[in-house]
Amino acid sequence: MVGARSILPIMKQATIYSIAQALEVSASTVSRAFSRPDLVKPEVRERVLATARELGYAPNRAARGLATGRTGLYGLLVPDVTNPFFPPLIRAIQQAAARVDAGVLLVDSEGSGAAETALVSRIKAQVDGLLVASPRLATAKLKEALGAVPSVIINRAAQGLATVVCDNTAALREAATHLHDLGHRRFALMRGPSASWAAGRRAHAIRSWAQEAGVSLAELGHYEAVFVDGRRAAAQIVESGATAVFAFDDLMAAGVIAGLSDLGETVPRDRSIIGCDDVLLARTMTPGLTTVTAPLEELGRQSVLALHGLLEQRPVPNVQLQGTLTVRGTTGPPP
């Protein structure tokens, strides 16, 4: 014994065996004190827990995983971490997962359906279950890729899979009415990606409202849900003659505003714009963006709850949450 290193004795991490030894009980008892406390005499359990704390014991995840087949990890697959829609969702998921003692393994598919397939099969052996946010893949392919891994799909309907979605229909109708009340009669709708489930839903909500209200609606797109596509679309909007615009999401809305500004227009003086999602950007731009706020924290929490339920063999109902209208500064009376 040479290296008497000063502070921390190079003591190997405590195991159930070290605890068992210290207490002169068997390792099984220690194990059970944690995983099945009801099977251990209260007094013994207390002593085990105390000693564990003393020795700084933390169960070895790998060993537990090997024995139980559970990793304590949830995979989270997002199409694009840098899209401001996802970070609040990620955070909520992370928190909720921590509450059920699970970690979050994050992967980004860079918006590619092919990558989704690859990533899913890459990580499905490493996790207990998968949370798939806004998948690009068609439902059938998605199901195939997922195989038997317990999964929850976020922000998209998918027959035969557990889903947690946000319905914006009511909020969008409210938004439309808000614009109508301000005096707008000519509307434009900037459609999102054709493969996007949300885009279809939103378009449908607005389309049916416009029909009922008997106002004109110019449908533009499909566009990619990115800033530059919004910016480029500004000319088409001007051309359409619409005074009020529904952008597919906040990013596109910001793009449109930038594009209109390039053309010498000011929002909301010359035109009103409404976004969707209420990402950080919507709150921080000037003027603030009128938009439909998605309950992202709740979305995250519910997804984790659903996955957790799935893992415990509980039947999990599909969840549908509601978006709400948030009026800020990009809507006003028509010129």
Partner DNA sequence: TCTCTACGTGCAATCGGTTGCAAGCAACCT
Partner DNA sequence: AGGTTGCTTGCAACCGATTGCACGTAGAGA
Among 21, 23, 47, 87, binds a copy of itself (CB under 8 A): 87
In the complex, least distance from residue 122 CB atom to a copy of itself, rounded to whole angstroms: 8
In the complex, least distance from residue 185 CB atom to a copy of itself, rounded to whole angstroms: 26
Residue 286 near a copy of itself by CB under 8 A: yes
Q: What is the DSSP string of 282-314?
A: HHHSSSPPBEEEP-HHHHHHHHHHHHHHHHTT-
In the complex, least distance from residue 53 CB atom to DNA, rounded to whole angstroms: 14
Q: Tell me how crowded residue 159 is: count the other CB atoms within 10 A of its CB.
A: 8
Listed in sequence order, the residues at least 6 apart from 170 whose beta carbon sits closer than 8 Å to its beta carbon are 322, 323
Whole-Å CA distances, 125 to 96, 113, 147: 22, 20, 11
Whole-Å CA distances, 84 to 191, 229, 251, 276: 19, 16, 9, 12
Query: 32 contacts which partner out of a copy of itself, DNA, none, CB within 5 to 8 A by kind?
Result: DNA
Residue 227 near a copy of itself by CB under 8 A: yes
Residue with tokens 């035969």: 160
- Nearer residue to DNA within complex by CB, 13 or 177: 13
Rounded distance, CA 186 to CA 290, Å? 18
- Nearer residue to DNA within complex by CB, 6 or 8: 8
- Nearer residue to DNA within complex by CB, 82 or 148: 148
Answer yes or no: are the C-beta atoms of 26 and 20 closer than 8 Å: yes
Q: Binding to DNA (CB under 7 A): which residues in 46-85?
A: 57, 59-60, 63-64, 66-68
Among 18, 29, 31, 71, binds a copy of itself (CB under 8 A): 71
- Binding stretches for DNA (CB under 7 A): 12-17, 24-29, 31-32, 34-36, 38-42, 44, 57, 59-60, 63-64, 66-68
